[in-house]
């Protein structure tokens, strides 16, 4: 069953999302070449602590960190590491969640560390654009895969491919709740959207083929062809007239 939140719950989700959006903005400011992904994690932990919130990722299925930091060919679930150095020209996805008064929001940004090649810039921009096109469809009366279809349209236009092994999902009292949905699909299909459904819409886009493989750590997905991948995610509330992005 797809949860429909009460207006009171939406107020708490907005608070949660505001904190998360702010932490990701601050992350954009401090991230730079020469840092390790563990440096980024440690900064994020401090920002969470300062705001008295927790990450829902830490300990989730034994995941060992508060954030996922995926660089270049890493698609999702990069585990912060003291050995992984961020270099000029890299693209770095930072995926983070916040728990505030029991309510979870989930968001990801892919940051470009100057100066990246043209294809990487196009990949990152297309992924973001696809998210916004999809999120606009999160309106009561539309169908779930209308969101997926819009994401697919933008990515196809750009000649990139959508990851199939990971999905977008409902979010709220738990990190992953129904519905689980692919980031591509047929318009007019899937469950009908209702006001106050809360969705983490998260296209993961590869420059080359869509296939991924999992690294020996059991978590980190990388592209099979070694080409780069970008990720953009926000928590979105389905509205009557328009969708509301609560983690920007
Ligand atoms: N945003 C990711 C997701 O929805 C983060 C999960 S990482 C995990 O799957 F460690 F918590 F699994
Ligand atoms: Co998510």
- For ligand 2, the distance from its centroid to the CA atom of residue 168, given in whole angstroms, is 6
95: phi then psi, degrees, rounded to nearest 5: -110, 125
Kindly report, residue by residue over 41-88, the tens digit of the pLDDT. Answer: 999 999 999 999 999 999 999 999 999 999 999 999 999 999 999 999
Tokens representing 128? Answer: 């973001």
The string over 223-243, giving b where at least 16 C-beta atoms fall within 10 Å of a residue's C-beta and e elsewhere, is beeebbbbbbbbbbbbbeeeb
- For ligand 1, the distance from its centroid to the CA atom of residue 77, given in whole angstroms, is 7
Residue 30 lies in a domain: yes
- For ligand 1, the distance from its centroid to the CA atom of residue 100, given in whole angstroms, is 17
**Which residue range forms the structural domain that includes residue 90?**
7-245
pLDDT value at position 212? Answer: 98
Residue 194 lies in a domain: yes
Mean pLDDT, rounded, for 89-106: 99
Mean pLDDT, rounded, for 155-172: 98
Q: How far apart are CA 73 and CA 231, in angstroms?
A: 11
Q: How far apart are CA 212 and CA 220, in angstroms?
A: 10
Nearest CA to ligand 1 atom 10: 57
Q: Could you give the number of structural domains in the chain?
A: 1
Q: How far apart are CA 201 and CA 151, in angstroms?
A: 10
Chain centroid to CA 76: 9
The residues facing 205 across adjacent strands are 162, 230
Tokens representing 168? Answer: 């977008």
Q: How far apart are CA 9 and CA 19, in angstroms?
A: 16
Kindly report, residue by residue over 189-217, the tens digit of the pLDDT. Answer: 999 999 999 999 999 999 999 999 999 99
In three-state secondary structure terms, 105 is strand
- Counting every residue written for the chain, the total comes to 248
Pocket of ligand 1 (CB under 6 A): 57, 60-61, 63, 68, 77, 95, 106, 200
For residue 174, the domain's CATH number is 3.90.230.10
Residue 2 lies in a domain: no
Residue 115 lies in a domain: yes
Residue 32 lies in a domain: yes
pLDDT value at position 48? Answer: 99
The residues facing 161 across adjacent strands are 206
pLDDT value at position 108? Answer: 99
Residue 1 lies in a domain: no
- Tally of CA atoms within 13 A in the half-sphere of 70 that contains its CB: 28
pLDDT value at position 122? Answer: 98
**Sequence-ordered list of residues with C-beta below 8 angstroms from that of 224, at least 6 positions apart, any chain:** 209, 211, 212, 213
The 10 Å Cβ neighbour count of residue 114 is: 9
pTM (2 decimals)? 0.98
pLDDT value at position 88? Answer: 98
pLDDT value at position 198? Answer: 99
């Amino acid at each position: 069953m797809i949860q429909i939140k009460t207006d009171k719950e939406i107020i708490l989700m907005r608070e949660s999302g505001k904190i998360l959006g702010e932490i990701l903005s601050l992350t954009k400011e401090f991230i730079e070449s020469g840092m390790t992904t563990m440096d980024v994690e440690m900064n994020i932990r401090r920002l969470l602590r300062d705001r008295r919130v927790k990450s829902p990722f830490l300990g989730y299925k034994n995941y060992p960190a508060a954030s996922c930091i995926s660089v270049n060919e890493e698609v999702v679930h990069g585990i912060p590491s003291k050995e992984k150095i961020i270099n000029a020209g890299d693209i770095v996805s930072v995926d983070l969640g916040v728990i505030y008064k029991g309510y979870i929001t989930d968001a990801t940004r892919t940051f470009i560390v100057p100066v990246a090649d043209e294809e990487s810039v196009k990949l990152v921009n297309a992924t973001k654009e696809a998210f916004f096109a999809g999120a606009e469809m999160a309106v009561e009366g539309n169908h779930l895969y209308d969101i997926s279809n819009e994401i697919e349209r933008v990515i196809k236009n750009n000649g990139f491919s959508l990851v199939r092994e990971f999905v977008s999902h409902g979010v709220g009292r738990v990190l992953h709740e129904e519905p689980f949905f692919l980031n591509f699909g047929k318009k007019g299909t899937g469950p009908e959207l209702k006001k106050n459904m809360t969705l983490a819409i998260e296209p993961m886009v590869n420059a080359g083929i869509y296939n991924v493989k999992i690294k020996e750590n059991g978590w980190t997905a990388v592209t099979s062809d070694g080409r780069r991948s970008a990720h953009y995610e926000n928590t979105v509330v389905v509205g009557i007239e328009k969708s509301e992005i609560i983690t920007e």
